[in-house]
């Protein structure tokens, strides 16, 4: 054999050895997941779905009682536990990750879901609005990803980090500069971490929901009312209004976002990282508002 052929053989032998050393994620049924902001809404639906697939779940949210109540709805403490954590606080984040490891013996999967939405036009957005939005969703998801990555890398079993971003990470949402800007930040965190953590077998993906009205707390506190006024419909009909403007004419519910997280982390999409999956019944594809 000539030199070129020898080089090719050695090259592929090295590549195969590298692949063999690549961590193989455990099946979802044996995985341990931490979902932030999972005491309600989309996060709770995600935790419920992952637990239904056999994973052990840690519900991390601001209020311990709410987190524990959500965990108790999912199952006993062998399957679901609630912990108090403000994701914008590094010590609290570290403590929540430690609690997950202590409760179930490891960590495989983290969902950055915690959030709030301050929906105001530019001239009404205060510095405090901007800081709060960014503390919780930009800094918070960075802190959670960093603390989780430390554990995942040390375990050497690969893992998943999922960001619940938004259609607004790509398209400008009307009159919500702070929220849309922080969602774009999260989307870029997904790409950056996918690039950095790939060699450890850690996949990092995003989900971009839109229009999840029913079951979402984010629409309370005035946002739902404002959106309803923009569209000229009563607030209780917002879900139906959102549904009819989609390509599929379907309302998006928290369970549909949970389905995407399951598919991304359940094992079948083992070679997908850095992706954002829209769960919006086609709104972003057709540039609909």
Residue of 32, 33, 39, 260 that binds ligand NAD (CB under 6 A): 39
Size of residue set near ligand NAD by CB under 6 A: 29
Q: Among 130, 136, 126, 120, which Cα is nearest to 176's? A: 120
Does 25 participate in binding ligand NAD (rule CB under 6 A)?
Answer: no
* CA distance linking residue 262 with residue 268, whole number of Å: 10
Active site residue 179: yes
The window from 21-29, 115-123, 196-204, 223-231 that contacts ligand NAD (CB under 6 A) reads 115-123
The window from 39-47, 51-59, 123-131, 268-276 that contacts ligand NAD (CB under 6 A) reads 39-47
Does 141 participate in binding ligand NAD (rule CB under 6 A)?
Answer: no
Q: How far is CA 31 from CA 54, 141, 265, 271, 281, in A?
A: 8, 21, 10, 18, 29
Site of tokens 């549904």: 243
Does 99 participate in binding ligand NAD (rule CB under 6 A)?
Answer: no
CB nearer to ligand NAD: give 107 or 284: 284
With a CB cutoff of 8 Å and minimum separation 6, the contacts of 141 are: 36, 87, 112, 114, 163, 186, 189
Helical H runs in 119-207? 127-134, 140-155, 177-197
| Smallest gap from residue 75 Cβ to ligand NAD (A) | 19
* CA distance linking residue 151 with residue 118, whole number of Å: 32
Site of interaction with ligand NAD (CB under 6 A): 36-37, 39-43, 61-62, 85-88, 113-117, 136, 140, 164, 166, 209-212, 216-218
- Point out the residues that are catalytic: 179
């Amino acid at each position: 054999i000539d030199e070129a052929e020898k080089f090719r053989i050695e090259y592929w032998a090295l590549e195969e050895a590298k692949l063999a050393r690549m961590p193989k994620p455990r099946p979802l049924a044996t995985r341990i997941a931490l979902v932030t902001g999972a005491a309600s809404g989309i996060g709770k639906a995600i935790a419920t779905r992952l637990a239904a697939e056999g994973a052990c779940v840690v519900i991390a949210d601001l209020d311990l009682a709410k987190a524990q109540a959500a965990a108790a709805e999912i199952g006993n403490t062998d399957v679901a536990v609630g912990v108090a954590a403000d994701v914008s606080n590094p010590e609290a984040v570290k403590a929540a990750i430690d609690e997950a490891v202590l409760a179930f013996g490891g960590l495989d999967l983290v969902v950055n879901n915690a959030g709030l939405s301050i929906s105001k036009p530019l001239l009404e957005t205060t510095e405090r609005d901007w800081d709060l939005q960014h503390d919780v969703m930009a800094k918070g998801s960075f802190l959670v990803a960093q603390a989780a990555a430390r554990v995942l890398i040390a375990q050497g079993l690969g893992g998943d980090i999922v960001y619940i971003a938004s259609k607004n990470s790509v398209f400008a949402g009307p009159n919500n500069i702070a929220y849309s800007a922080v969602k774009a930040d999260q989307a870029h965190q997904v790409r950056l971490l996918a690039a950095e953590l790939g060699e450890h077998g850690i996949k990092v993906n995003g989900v971009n929901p839109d229009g999840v009205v029913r079951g979402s707390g984010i629409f309370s506190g005035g946002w739902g009312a404002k959106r309803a006024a923009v569209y000229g419909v009563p607030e209780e009909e917002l879900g139906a209004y959102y549904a009819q403007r989609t390509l599929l004419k379907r309302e998006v519910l928290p369970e549909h976002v949970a389905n995407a997280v399951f598919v991304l982390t359940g094992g079948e999409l083992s070679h997908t990282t850095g992706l954002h999956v829209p769960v919006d019944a086609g709104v972003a594809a057709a540039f609909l508002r």
